[in-house]
Amino acid sequence: MTLQAPAQITEAEKKVILTQYRELLKSMRMQLQKGDRRLIRLAFEIAYDAHRSMRRKSGEPYILHPLAVAKLVASEIGLGTIGVICALLHDTVEDTEVTLQDIEREFGKPVAEIIDGLTKISVIFDRRGNIQAENIRKIMLTLSKDVRVVLIKLADRLHNLRTMDHMPRSKQLKTATETSYLYIPLAHRLGLNQIKTELEDLVLKISEPKVYRMLERKIRESRQEREQFIQDFIRPIKERLDRSGLKTRVFGRLKSIASIWRKMKAQQVSFEEVYDKFAIRIIVDSPAETEKSDCWKVYSIVSEIYRPNPDRLRDWISTPKANGYEALHTTVMSHDGRWVEIQIRSEHMDAIAERGYAAHFLYKGNEYFRSDSRIDEWLKRIREVLENPETNTLDFIDDFKLNLFDEEIYVFTPKGELKVMPRGASVLDFAMEIHSDLGRNCIGAKVNHRIEPISYRLQNGDQVEVITSAKQKPTEEWLKYVVTAKAKSIIKAMLKSERRRIVSIGRNALEQIFRRKHVEFTAANLNPIVDHYGFTSAEELFYSIGIGNFKLSAIEDFELRGERLVSRPREKTTADIELAIKNKLVSNANLWVFGKDAEAVDYNLASCCKPIPGDEVFGFVNKNKEVEIHRTNCPKAINIISKHGYPIVRTKWTRQHQIAFLTGIRISGMDDVGVVHKITHVISGDLKINMQSISLDTKDGMFYGIIKVFVNDTAHLNQLLDKLRALEGILQVSRIEEDLAAENGNGTEDLAASVKSPHTTLGLQP
């Protein structure tokens, strides 16, 4: 084909564009049906013309981006012609003069609806990062009706992350936090393992570049030894499988960098100590009717060669995960004493494992496939929750996101019907899952014929019979008992309805008092009462009256002057004075912002991740116009920024005075006489470090402990860690990442004093 390129695109760029277009068609060769090539060409030409004068930050023609997204959609997700057309056109309606009517006229209503969904999903987060709540309900409803919207959006996000090098650091961090907040959990739930894994790696590369580079180097250095071990390990397995007559593929696959980093943090070990950095995968080429039995045959052969760990067998063939994942996982002991994970699955299961829900499109061609899979049940639940007018959209997003990563358990109704619930689900979750009315009246359940309360956490295989009472009413406490988004949404809707009823009762009662006193029931007369008793609004006052907390006799403290209700003078109470003092307390800690409009601003060092001088940090301006400083790997900061869209600023430590920052150390080793003396001598004697507390426990000849100390910066902390590691009998020493202030209520005043000190300065760049 030929292109009439506009002047802005060079001949060399034109050749690159045509090469990418031909590679796209080549990747679809097995899926193309009659007429598909013409439609794809038309979509490409429309996109090319619409984006003809646009370039990306890297300087390359913009059209290369939709081409790359279309190729991802075709080759890594396998959506077929409709998906590729939508990928090519996904930015046209938002960024160019092309309209939805133009797209519907050329390609039909289904394509136009997907493009509309893609345009809406692009504004979940606005330019400042704020969640656009009014769009989220429409977006999620679109997702639940046609999942291709989010599949294409995930491909779009993946390509954007792959090409972030030319973007400013603040934009990179914003994109990474959005990805962690919503897109990675969605990829997980939809079973898009390949895309989820790469998104996690790219987010780690952006948020913690030093960690990423370190792990990348260690993986590269250990490659030869790892490949030799894998080759020796799988050789006997291959030989036995070949003799069995089963047609299989056997290979070793390195786990992702992000996965290895999670294991290192969770297990508090070094890279070298992570034993399962790779997994052996055995793929069986079997027809559908024998694939499950063939997988068990492979397991039998493997367990004859290597001794399996009986506690590490995972059977997701009999009961697949909610995202459709099917496989057998086992961990076996190699002949040289190393534990090795083996994953066994059929070719069909492998496609589902890597492409999840999207794999259905591969098996059903271009026809949009609707199965009765658990994914469809999950999408149906999203629809039910969102179609409820009482659902608060932002609350839903928080609950929905939490449920995306949940592991599943399998429980049964009294008639033996299987229900898949997230791990940690309660009796109340189960009741709400069956029907909201059953949940509303639930007072407990017979679990395996034993009476259990509504808060009881269900276990795999439980049989549950819900017990109800018409007198039961939902309370705020119920929200602590449930984990599913559906149950939380229903309970919140019930509580809102009950609150409206109570507010109405309180309002009517107060209105009667006003009428008796011949006082107008107006905001001007309500506000003095609201302010006098410290309520946040008139509704809070009505609610307090309705539940009986506020006595109507208190109105006698007020008198009418003219047409206004005013309070009689009274002396301030101790509580009033304490509140006033608290409101006046303002820290004089300043932070210099270097830029065009340099000025000093208040800042806080976040209590959730405990940054200290030397840590890689960033900040954001919160609703109080203060800069909150977090470490770049802080998960709480990711959620806050994604939800509220606070402006991000780059930060760095400019100078470090001798100020003490509270941090924690986890230590373990051989339990020996004098071990406490050796540890405290290093801390207090050698390094003259102040220690807040030390707690040691012993078990089976080992000791485990937590030490809380005040250090100046990361260099100071690392010096201490190295000294402790050098002690005889010490096996492991590491920094604690958790919120120490929350973990130990003692010493929080000292911590607060050190966190907002005038002696520590951070340099920020907007």
Query: Which residues are known to be catalytic?
Result: 94-95
Q: Which helix (H) or strand (E) holds 622?
A: none
- Beta strand 328-333 with 248-254 is unpaired
Annotate 171-181 with b (16+ C-beta within 10 A) or e (fewer): ebbbbbbbbbb
Q: Both tokens of residue 224? A: 């030869």
Rounded to whole angstroms, the Cα distance separating 183 from 174 reads: 13
* Dihedral over Cα of 668, 669, 675, 681: its sign: negative
- CB-side exposure of 365: number of CA atoms within 13 Å? 5
Q: Both tokens of residue 324? A: 């459709």
Phi and psi, residue 371, nearest 5°: -105, 180
Rg (CA), the chain: 31
Rounded to whole angstroms, the Cα distance separating 338 from 726 reads: 27
- Asked if residues 263 and 274 have their Cβ atoms less than 8 Å apart, the reply is yes
- Asked if residues 433 and 464 have their Cβ atoms less than 8 Å apart, the reply is no
CA distance to 227, 556, 691, per residue, from 567 (Å): 82, 9, 53
Task: Tell the burial category of 46 from Cβ atoms under 10 Å away from its Cβ (0-12, 13-18, 19+).
Answer: buried
Rounded to whole angstroms, the Cα distance separating 17 from 19 reads: 5
- Asked if residues 733 and 640 have their Cβ atoms less than 8 Å apart, the reply is no
The residue assigned the tokens 């898949």 is: 420
Cβ neighbours for 294, distance < 8 A, ≥ 6 positions apart? 246, 284, 286, 346
Task: Tell the burial category of 629 from Cβ atoms under 10 Å away from its Cβ (0-12, 13-18, 19+).
Answer: buried
CA distance to 120, 284, 377, 484, 731, per residue, from 150 (Å): 11, 30, 17, 21, 47
CA distance to 262, 347, 379, 381, per residue, from 354 (Å): 20, 11, 20, 24
Rounded to 5°, the CA angle 754-755-759 comes to 65
* Dihedral over Cα of 295, 296, 301, 303: its sign: positive
